[in-house]
Structure 1
Amino acid sequence: MQEKVSDSLVGSLVDNRYRVNSKLARGGMSTVYLATDQRLDRDVALKVLHPHLVNDGNFLDRLAREARSAAKLSHPHVVGVLDQGHDGRTAYLVMEYIKGHTLRDVINERGALSPRLALALIDPVVEGLGAAHDAGLIHRDVKPENVLIAENGRIKIGDFGLARAVTTTTTTGTLIGTVAYLSPELVLGKPADARSDIYSTGIMLYEMLTGQQPFDGEVPIQVAYQHVNSTVAPPSGLVPGLAEEVDELVQWCTANDPDKRPVDGNALLSELRHIRTNLSDAELDLQPPAALHAATAAGAAGATGLHPARPGIAAPPAPVRLPSAAAPGSHTEVLSPVEGPGVQRPTEVISHTSNPTTMFPARQLPAKFGFDADADADETGSRSAAPAAYGDGGQSQRPLSKREQRKQDRVDERARSRAAATPLRTLREGNARRRGVLWIVILVIAALLATGAGWFFGMGPGSPGTVPAVANRTVAEAQQLLQGAGFQSSTQDVFDDDIRAGLVVGSDPEAGTEIRKYQQVSLFVSKGPQLFPLPQLPGKSLDAAKEALSGAEMALGKVTEKFDEEAPAGTVLAQSPAAGTQVRHGTPVSLTVSKGPQPIPVPDVRGEEQGAAFRAIEAAGLVAVVADETVNDRKVPKGAVVKQEPASGTLTRGATVTLTISAGPKLVKVPNYIGEQVADAREALEKRGFEVRVNNILGGFFGTVRDQDPVDVEVPEGSVVTLTVV
């Protein structure tokens, strides 16, 4: 019985995009939900990783890289990876949602499959693996649970990328796959390649043909040991009459030495299709013994007992039609829904277009393959018409050709060889008293087993219990709580930004989950926040410093600007905390950034004596330079500054100010205008730059210049010339 447990993630919105609708399944690494992508309005499968994986930053980086690699693979038989992200404490993968059921459901329902159906189901799986191997991807966890069968019959293999990301991070090493399908090299901790996927595929094909896995044991380590030290037996040991080519195919895939297996999925696909094309209809449609159907269809999901009912599939799988794509003749086999009260399984009819005269219901195979022809009669009491070549005494509808006869002879010879190796004596023969004692012993053992099972699952380690809440408790307190609830526990140290070091962060399974008491509970113990060194920022530009902080997952704190005479504007001068300081992710880092050299106002020294001008400029932090040439200026005395460049504005410290020194007024000779009319004399003198003053005597009645001062000498330009007029 599957207990229902509430899940806080159901109904929430992950990463502002994925609305979680319901929980589909829970595994060792993640929980799978049915979600709706609100941006694209489509259903997706949302795989949310368990919290202890989310706390490992290195794992999240690897997961992102693997998800990107898997997303590049687009193939009709591979479940597409659509997105990957990290929303707070939720790390997730978004994958294509396949509505339907899994290959595990088919095996659990039907048990052993006919070779035709088994090879048809495995063909798209191998094709998808071949495409992945060409792209450099290795699955590492091929198993029936990861083979999805959509309602329209399309078959896809899923979970690429996640297995590799976990194996490179967790302490479980390479033993991340389901133990029943692990290759020997993965058990031994050696690197995996495409041939590891081939081994798992061979184990899966063996299970499809026989209804059971080749190795079993009470604990997983026993199964792992057999993968390394035992050889997979040919499936014909359980299915008499199985073609030798199928035996060889299974044993080729499951060779202990990887060098003796197909190199990749494409190599296996070529051989698989060659076998499907060349096997006879009788070999392809061989029905496994009824005992295999009875033993496996009742829920024997593998000898290891590691296959619980898959959550998320509330109804029986719908019928699926699988075409035999590789065979030259058209062929369809129908998988019926799960049988139940009042439901009759429809007869599987297999039509053989390659030999239209050889037609019979799939369940009614001749007695030479181990079936009772009388028991397989149809409802009207008639028998299926099978050719005489099959040895049932029926009438052939046409004679066999020589080639068909030789092929049939090989089939008969294989059947005779297997029949000769089968003992004819049974428990029905012998001493009746001995048989009675044997039956008593069997019944006593069965009663003891039933009693033990009742105690185990009722009050013992197999009874259900609820995982208590252990967060924020010491390890001793948490272990005591778990022990009181009947659980054994283990501890694993993790970083946590919120829980103090030494206290329990949480558990796996989570608090409130109902599990069997023999299942171990993992306690995640806080090591405190994970600390990281701050990068060296001084000397970088502000943009480069921001990028470095983002890459180190730190925050930008307060930015202060100051003038600096050496560092260009925008350069980081200092940081706080200092580089190399161990801090948490998200710690704000304050920066001091240069505004460049401080600007200095240029002093105006025009008109000042040269020495005083030099002192004023140097006091401001600037350098004064005298121009090579002097200039005459009637207003600026000789030796004073008549011009400067620049005359205003700002400069940086050490910049140059050029000063032009005055040579004083220009000397001009004063002409003699005595005897001239005053108006003419005034005009001529003013044109030469002189200032003219007139001194009239007796009113200056005649307007004649009687005297002039100065006259006939050189005087500074702009000097005053006095004219005496009569």
Structure 2
Amino acid sequence: MSPRRPGAAPRSSKEFHLSTGTRVLNGRYELGDLIGRGGMADVYRGTDLRLGRDVAVKILRADLARDPQFLARFRREAQSVAGLNHVSIVAVYDSGEESQGDGVDGVKAPYIVMEIVHGKTLKDLLKAGEVSIDQAVEYSLGILAALEYSHKSGIVHRDIKPGNVMVRGDSGRIKVMDFGIARAVTDSSATMTQTQAVVGTAQYLSPEQALGETVDARSDLYSAGCLLYELLTGRPPFQGDSPVSVAYQHVQGIAVPPSKLNPEVSAALDSVVAKAMRKKREDRFPDAAAFRRALRAALGGVAVHDAPQDSTAANLVAVPTEAISAAVEEPTTARHRAGAAHPGDSTTALAQVPDHGAASDGTLASAPYDTAEDALTLTQDQLRVLLPEIRNLPEVQQAQRTHRRHRRGLMVTLWIFLLMVLGGGGFGIYSWLTRPIPPELVAVPAVAQLTESAAMQKLYDAHLQPKLSHVASATVPEGTAIGTDPQEGEMIEVNKDVKLVVSAGPTAVQIPDKLQGQSEPAVRDILRNAGLKGTLVTTFADNATVPANQVIATKPAAGQSVPVNGTVEIIVSTGKVEVPELRGQTVDQATTVLEGLGLQVRVEEKDNSVVPAGQVTGQSVAAKERIDQGGVVTLTVARKPPPPPTPSSKPTPTPSGKPTADGG
């Protein structure tokens, strides 16, 4: 089946390739091998017949296409990612629906056409033990860049985990995928109060998700912190025999610092992980950009100053995982077996193992979690029922009572000490507090041309508090310090705020050269790598020399500048040439025109007593019709007819040898 011209009428949603018998969706996407299978959809390698590029096609499973919740979740994924255009997010090119089976039930399963990424998931790299400390930080920076973009677009991912992050094999670039349970930041239904609504993956669940509260961008940052923890240590921050025990630890437990599991992890990285995994979302990083800055600063040894420095917290209770699992597993299993006996009950099984599906009898899966991808998913209804049971366990109540007694004793001790200080040394303290103390001054150090992290460290060393400010600059490289306010050398009080001005890079990008002849996806990557963050628009045009599906040029053209957030049009060749009107021209003129268009010329002469000889009277391809590059056009050219024969002047001999009378 040959590719259709742009603008041709669509074919039926379910077709088969005439030569190979493969399935073709919407007359455009030819399906190949099955490259992935999850609990909700199958992913096939595919080919876009119109643009000639490889794609990945994700199709909702036929048995789930009848379920309105799965259908809504799948469509929400297409809607969420369709508006996201970022180099670290798997791009979605198209979406649609196709009939399943023979169409007897009238079931239409939706599909999503996505960018195909050649590489491995972080899950695979973690299993192989192929992640170093530097790679862990680099991968996390890429994930945070994607989250920063999606959050600014109003989308919260809600399921950040190793299985949803790809690493490209050619460049090592991060690609975040699977926005299946993503929600808009402004969506008031984001509390997920529906009975069977998926909350997320237990190993990376934020406390507010586990408790069914509203989610926001900081919930993704908690999950990103859990993922960074696993990249640094090779294991998730919390483990258990059931998803409920893991979720409970996210709400009440404190993770062991990564440096305790991996001595190569610095104290600065410990502080970043601790800040990202704070239980209260207002104590975490305010946004992904702040998380990224802290992570880059940690590479230079700069720690987060307001992160907890130990593994304990006064308002949290640590409960043994074994006690939770043993107490929860039996009543949970019994409840779900009872539910299986009542087909009308809408409550689903507690645990659904990815890639394998839930157990047929609805019982609880209890395999330990070795990696994040082995974690089970939770629904809000399950947590709503099971968390009260956990909190009523004797072990939990005993731990809480012990903690309250310890806190009361500590408070009594503090009050006694305070009274002693106030009574015995009140006058001395008053005199010390009221005595005039001259402020300690320090000179603002020079930080120009230093990296952002080095400049911050230099200001911290001078006992000053840097406050970042990014400004555009066409001369100073991105991420390099420009200066400070107050300026260097000025004397100010210690611990005062100093504005650190850092270059955000240029405001305009120059279109690179040598884009002609490359594929449209390759040109998109080149423009993104050049720093362009705006919209890329693809259009098609006829061209005599550039092969089909290759780039002819861009608007603005190569060498011209465009704003960083501006729009660039990518013009792609259709592989066609439009034939002009040639009749009335001489054969030499018409031949020159056609050869200039890269077409072959064939000439047929015909006698014509009306049109001058050598003039074109017809063409095999009509004017303004389009043909393939290098095609043949036959020209009909007028030829002067031969003169009529003249009568003979010699007499015609007769049989007797004498000329006839009329032959004289």
TM-score with structure 2 setting the length? 0.40
The one of the two structures with greater contact order (alpha-carbon pairs below 8 A, sep at least 6) is 2
TM-score with structure 1 setting the length? 0.37
Which entry has the higher C-alpha Rg, 1 or 2?
A: 1
